Structure 1
Amino acid sequence: MKLTNKQKQYLKGLAHSLKPVVQLGGNGLTEGVLAEIENALSHHELIKVKVPTDDRDEKSLIMDAIVRETHAEKLQVIGHVMIMFRQSDEKKIQIPKG
């Protein structure tokens, strides 16, 4: 699902008050962490994930891997926090059209 800029702005506004649901630990991106992100996306649709690493390239690679594995949409990255969205079958969040 490809989101328009208007839809992304709307979702970023909703995500503003959210706290990171998943935070990567010292082991980086493990199967368990991915499973946790999958569960959070299925349950909430819109989540924040914290990737605490000072290496920009590593952080970028980890975030890209998360997006690729979960088939979610990366909305925004601020510092170490990535905002992600993936609509579930229940469509809990109503996105404005186009």
Structure 2
Amino acid sequence: MMDEGYAWIMTDGMTNSFTYISSSDIENMEGVLGIKTFVPNTKELESFRVRWKSKFQQDNPTVHDVKLDVFGFWAYDAAWALAMAVEIVGAKTFSFQQTENT
């Protein structure tokens, strides 16, 4: 199915990870169509990227040339949304109750 007349359609999960693939490899992928998540570049986003990279390098000094991708943005947004929900609910302590198995 790599012959002329065929096309591959990729999910956004796969296409978003192409940030790490060289441009020459991408050029060889003729007939591949992928949909990528669009994150508009703003001053706030760039400020966040700089802060994140600084903190990451501080915590991981042996890892170099790391970039924050869309999956990192989603993880950050999910953690932030959870923290906001906890504040709104006003939960002060968390505990788990063990259920009895019968």
How would you bin the TM-score normalised by the shorter chain? under 0.3
Instruction: Please say which structure displays the higher CA radius of gyration.
Output: 2
- More helix per residue: 2
TM-score (norm 2): 0.23
Query: What TM-score does the superposition give when structure 1 sets the normalisation length?
Result: 0.24
Q: By percentage of residues, which structure has more strand? A: 1
